[in-house]
Chain A
Amino acid sequence: MIRRETWQAWALLLPALLLLVAFTHWPAVATLIDSLYTTPRGSRPPRFIGLENFASLLDDRVFWTALRNNFIYAAATIPASVILALLMALAVNTALPGRPLLRMAYFTPTMLPMIAVANIWLFFFTPDYGLFDQVAGLFGLGRHNWLGDSATALPAMIVVAVWKEAGFFMIFYLAALQAMPPDLREAADLEGSSRWNFFRRVTLPLLMPTTLFVLVNAVINAFRLVDHVVVMTRGGPDNATTLLLYYIYETGFRFWDTAMAATLTVVLLVLLAALAWLQFGVLGRRVHYR
């Protein structure tokens, strides 16, 4: 006999459960299943082929390029945006004239939609009359096709992502800094601790829970945020800016190779899971939660 409360509990959980299953859990399971089948085409139904999709991925040159690009992209955006966020938070946490304005300015990129950001930066990067070339022109440097050159296209994407993300992470650091009791600083001042010593021995360790949170988000974003690639380069030139998620999008919705896209998605999920596990495992143990 199931008790009345149990029914009520399930009834209360149902709306959330339904949405979660429909849009999160089932698609995830379906993706895993799809990755083990061939892509259905016309009258040909999907056929179970085991890990064959994964095997063919190993020979896919574009996949390896996308993976390499994504690692470079992550390795550059994550530390850059997190360190920049911390520096900005420290800057706007001190008593400055016009502090609210500065905070807002730092946060603005976060509020803009990525499509708008991409369009703004598209203009910055335009050869000849874009912002970068105009500034470079002042120093006598010639024109440069930032997005058209495969050597500078990926760094350009990285710059946009850092600009967009740092303000968002700054908010978390700022909140954490403001939650720190001011008497810790005063106690350290009395003890003759230098600003740097206090930052290194007190501020930074106390910010670790925030850092962990921000890092996990930064890692996820590094594999998730590809809107600007769609708008600015479409993965080009010569796949120089193709990131993993963009490649999934292309495979799935331009070439309609859904099985392959599912396979790529599984790879991406496994990658993210491994990174998250690593972060919580390695960093989590060194984080002090109050």
Chain B
Amino acid sequence: MKSQKFIIDTTLRDGEQSPGLAFNKEQKVLLAGMLDQIGVYQIEAGIPALGKYEKNTLCEIMAQKKKSLISVWNRANLNDIKHSMECNPDIIHISIPVSYVQIYKKLNKNKTWIFKEMAKCVCAAKEQGYEVTLGFEDASRADVSFLMPLALQAKELGVKRIRFADTVGVLTPTRCYELVNEFVKYTGVEVEIHTHNDLGMAVPNAVQAAKAGADYIDTTILGIGERAGNCDFQKLIYAAERIFNLNISHYTSLTVEERARRIIEYKKL
């Protein structure tokens, strides 16, 4: 029997961050409705901290959704999380930079600060009754001796699922398998794999992560996203449906892709 895997579509968040793309409210609501209708498990719908327009859009998506869980993306700061709460999403997703280049150069902070901020943000969202998932940004380049205790602390805080992000798309299939396998075995948390296509391996990397125990796979329609994009929704389903139960057929994914092209109307797609 094929094992069950769940698609988390991030077209409306990471996909939209593809430079040059800017969805308006109607487009986002339409795309979310379409993904909801076909039974995508979770839709990462946007970033409330972007402002009022984005928050209105997210509230509208929440009001119209029927089956999918709606999550919103946050940096690890309380202000972002306050914005998210105004949208009353199903899941508050908090991104935690975990590689040293991100911690020391981007944030100009240290590992202790990461532990503290993560705890502060998770507690703030959980106190208000939200389900929280974490995104370990740049996990593929992180030091495992830091990553594992951080995941264990997250688990103690009540976080059930962690996104393992290959932020710059440098993993190979075997490396991806090994990292995720070790992470799942050591921490016991549910893993969501998030791959990028910089070296053309987003799809095989996601499949290997799923083989290694990641139950959730991030995709974007048409593979849109920063640089060379993310794991392509349709391609992933085509490559993985023979070994996993994804609840969405390849035929459905092709239809979605076609409809999305018409909604997005972006000349470069």
A and B: bona fide binding partners: no
Chain B positions within 8 Å of A, measured between CB atoms, are: none
Chain A positions within 8 Å of B, measured between CB atoms, are: none
